[in-house]
Amino acid sequence: MKVLVAVKRVVDYNVKVRPKADGSGVDLANVKMSINPFCEIAVEEAVRLKEKGVATEIVAVTVGAQQSQEQLRTALALGADRAILVSTDETLEPLSIAKCLKAICDAESPDIILMGKQAIDGDNNQTGQMLAALMGIGQATFASELVIDGANASVTREVDGGLQTLTLSLPLIVTADLRLNEPRYASLPNIMKAKKKPLDNTTPADLGVDVTPRVTQLSVELPAERQAGIKVDDVAQLVDKLKNEAKVIS
């Protein structure tokens, strides 16, 4: 069984992001970049499937700038067998990324596609669903448990009302939620081995994908600072302030 894992290069979750002075985007100068945390969970799940003897090959894929090779090498150090970089300097929208991933999946024919439920930069939560629609295969989003049984998969999803368990046939797209697993740290020997694992390069043009943006980003700015709260002495004063100052009750 071949597993394809999509990963994304994002600002490390410990870093406090700041906009550029002209508001044209996020300032990435001298900022630590990492694998998107949800994507890292997807990589860990793929490695666990291989350790159980379910998966035979893990292919890590990312769509992004040449610097994204760093995150692919991390995925290789965590246990992926080889990697593919779809190289572009454009800031791609979820649909363009999904189209690039579909082209890779058409060539690789994976049995299961794992990815994070969303990236912590754009926070869109769209790529997995769009890829499933483009490929015409089943999907299980927000997965907290994954069990493969032959040609079928049982996926426990985190939904608003609790947990939902689905049984789907392969091929299948699964997007990982936080409680699916706890990712491991890459050991030094595996980091060294990852440098020798194959990493192929391609471009959206090579894949026949049009990545022309459909949305224009006008500006990026920090959210307005919230005013400090106050303490009231009694319920009467609370009601008075809600009515006359906040004007949320009449």
Sign of the torsion angle spanned by Cα atoms 155, 156, 157, 160: positive
User: What is the pLDDT, as a whole number, of residue 21?
Assistant: 87
Query: DSSP readout, the chain?
Result: -EEEEE--EEE-TTS---B-TTSSSB--TT--EEE-HHHHHHHHHHHHHHHTTS-SEEEEEEEE-GGGHHHHHHHHHHT-SEEEEEE-SS---HHHHHHHHHHHHHHH--SEEEEES--TTT----HHHHHHHHHT-EEEEEEEEEEEETTEEEEEEEETTEEEEEEEESSEEEEE-GGG--PPPPPHHHHHHHTTS-EEEE-TTTTT-----SS------PPPPPPPP---SSHHHHHHHHHHTS----
Topology given in CATH for the domain delimited by 2-244: Rossmann fold (3.40.50)
User: What is the pLDDT, as a whole number, of residue 25?
Assistant: 85
Owner of token pair 């500006």: 219
User: What is the pLDDT, as a whole number, of residue 247?
Assistant: 84
pLDDT by residue, tens only, the chain of 250 residues: 999 999 999 999 999 988 888 888 888 888 999 999 999 999 999 999 999 999 999 999 999 999 999 999 999 999 999 999 999 998 899 999 999 999 999 999 999 999 999 999 989 999 999 999 999 999 999 999 999 998 999 999 999 989 999 999 999 999 999 999 999 999 999 999 999 999 999 999 999 999 988 888 888 888 888 888 888 899 999 999 889 888 888 7
Q: Domain extents for the chain?
A: 2-244
User: What is the pLDDT, as a whole number, of residue 208?
Assistant: 94
Cα 112 from chain centre: 16
User: What is the pLDDT, as a whole number, of residue 168?
Assistant: 95
CA distances to 47, 66, 78 from 89, rounded to whole Å, are: 29, 8, 26
